[in-house]
């Protein structure tokens, strides 16, 4: 029996274009999807090069493999909304005495991280001792990795993260506070004083979401005379649809129309300093 294993979790991305309807249905949890929204999602994936394979999933695999090498422990990938599912990873890790559950998203929300925990706990069904990492938004090594990417910039830095329905605030959810905390820590570490925060990637679900959205925020910054922006998506750690489409296509097109020079940081993906940060989190979680 292995002493410890890691289940490294991510949102998941459809492997082929033909998988998009089933993938979207999983995200919606059975609630209906308007046909134009489905068509729009298929088109976004097509334009990112997803046909018979998905280059976005290769990044998660590279991150997993690098973390496994760094730790010398088995690391299994488990996706929230696609294959390999979290339950598949739990089956493979379940022989270990202790399982660390780590999500590739640094900030806790009951609407996001708790769903990963539920899936993992249910699938492990008590087979191993679960040590689940709720949040690593203030991990010093992670903050360092991001700070390195904004240090010395002359642009106005816009930190971003995935929006969530605004009702989380009434529930006392720490998501927004944790995001602002990471942004403050990164800015302080990098010596950046000219920065702001906005959300991105809101879904049209018919209820209010946390704002401001990055597109409105870019318009407001432009009205304030800002002409150079560096986007730092601090709520994400890899290149996926929300980065490659929402920032690199949508926000970039709007910035061009407005006359703003927009760049974004390179995402941590599987870069060694980031893998070392993840390994540090796992080691601390396993410490007695
Ligand atoms: O690269 C990829 O293929 C997947 C990129 C992806 C990431 C991601 C992360 C988060 N989401 C979060 C919350 C929501 C809520 C809804 C929602 C909907 C979508 C849709 C797609 C999608 N999300 Fe996502 N999310 C990614 C992709 N997300 C595709 C559906 C189409 C669309 O709206 O564009 C609304 C669900 C509903 O309709 O009921 C809520 C949060 C994160 C960050 C934490 C995490 O990574 O888990 C929070 C990456």
Query: Measured from the CB, is residue 164 less than 6 Å from ligand 1?
Result: yes
Residue-level pLDDT at 169: 95
Which atom of ligand 1 is the closest one to the Cα of 12? 4
Q: What is the 3-state secondary structure (H, E, C) of the chain?
A: CCCEEEEEEECCCCCCHHHHHHHHHHHHCCCCCCHHHHHHHHHHHHHCCCCCCCHHHHHHHHHHHHHHHHHCCCEEEEECCCCCEHHHHHHHHCCCCEEEEEECCCCCCCCCHHHHHHHHHHHHCCCCEEEECCCCCCCHHHHHHHHHHHCCCCCEEEEEEECCEHHHCCCCCCHHHHHHHHHHHHHHHHCCCCEEEEEECCCCCCCCECCCEHHHHHHHHHHCCCCEEEEECCCCCCCCHHHHCHHHHHHHHHHHHHCCEEEECCCCCCCHHHHHHHHHHHHHHHCC
Which amino acid residue places its CA nearest to atom 17 of ligand 1?
203
Query: Measured from the CB, is residue 160 less than 6 Å from ligand 1?
Result: no
What are the backbone dihedrals phi and psi of residue 78, each rounded to the nearest 5 degrees, phi first? Answer: -130, 125
Which amino acid residue places its CA nearest to atom 28 of ligand 1?
203
Which atom of ligand 1 is the closest one to the Cα of 202? 33
Residue-level pLDDT at 87: 98
To test the pocket of ligand 1, the residue of 12, 133, 200, 241 to mutate (highest count of ligand atoms within 8 Å of its CB) is: 241
Average pLDDT of adjacent 10-residue blocks, the chain of 288 residues: 91 96 96 96 95 91 98 98 97 94 98 98 96 98 98 98 97 97 98 98 94 98 98 98 97 98 98 98 96
Residue-level pLDDT at 165: 97
Whether the model clears a pTM of 0.85, i.e. scores above it, the answer is yes
Residue-level pLDDT at 94: 82
Query: Measured from the CB, is residue 53 less than 6 Å from ligand 1?
Result: no
What residues contact 150, with CB distance under 8 A and at least 6 apart? 157, 186, 187, 190, 192, 230, 232, 265
To test the pocket of ligand 1, the residue of 201, 238, 269 to mutate (highest count of ligand atoms within 8 Å of its CB) is: 201
Residue-level pLDDT at 55: 84
Residue-level pLDDT at 1: 57
Residue-level pLDDT at 272: 98
To test the pocket of ligand 1, the residue of 36, 61, 203 to mutate (highest count of ligand atoms within 8 Å of its CB) is: 203
Query: Measured from the CB, is residue 45 less than 6 Å from ligand 1?
Result: no
């Amino acid at each position: 029996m292995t002493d410890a294993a890691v289940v490294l979790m991510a949102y998941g991305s459809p492997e082929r274009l033909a998988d998009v309807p089933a993938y979207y249905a999983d995200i919606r949890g059975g609630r209906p999807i308007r046909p134009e929204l489905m068509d729009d999602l298929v088109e976004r994936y097509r334009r990112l090069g997803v046909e018979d394979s998905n280059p976005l999933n290769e990044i998660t695999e590279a991150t997993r493999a690098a973390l496994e090498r760094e730790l010398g422990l088995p690391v299994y990938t488990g996706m929230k909304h696609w294959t390999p599912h979290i339950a598949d990873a739990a089956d493979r890790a379940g022989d270990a005495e202790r399982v660390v559950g780590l999500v590739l998203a640094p900030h806790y929300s009951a609407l996001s991280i708790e769903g990963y925990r539920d899936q993992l706990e249910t699938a492990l069904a008590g087979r191993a001792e679960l040590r689940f990492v709720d949040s690593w938004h203030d991990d010093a090594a992670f903050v360092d990795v991001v700070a390195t990417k904004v240090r010395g910039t002359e642009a106005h830095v816009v930190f971003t993260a995935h929006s969530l329905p605004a009702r989380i605030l009434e529930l006392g959810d720490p998501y927004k506070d944790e995001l602002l905390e990471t942004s403050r820590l990164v800015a302080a570490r990098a010596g950046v004083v000219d920065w702001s925060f906005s959300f991105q990637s809101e879904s049209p679900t018919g209820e209010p979401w946390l704002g401001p959205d990055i597109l409105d925020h870019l318009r407001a910054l432009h009205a304030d005379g800002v002409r150079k922006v560096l986007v730092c998506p601090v709520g994400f750690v890899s290149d996926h649809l929300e980065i490659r489409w929402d920032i690199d296509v949508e926000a970039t097109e709007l910035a061009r129309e407005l006359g703003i020079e927009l760049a974004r940081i390179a995402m941590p993906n599987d870069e060694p300093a980031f893998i070392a940060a993840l390994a540090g989190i796992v080691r601390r979680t396993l410490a007695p």
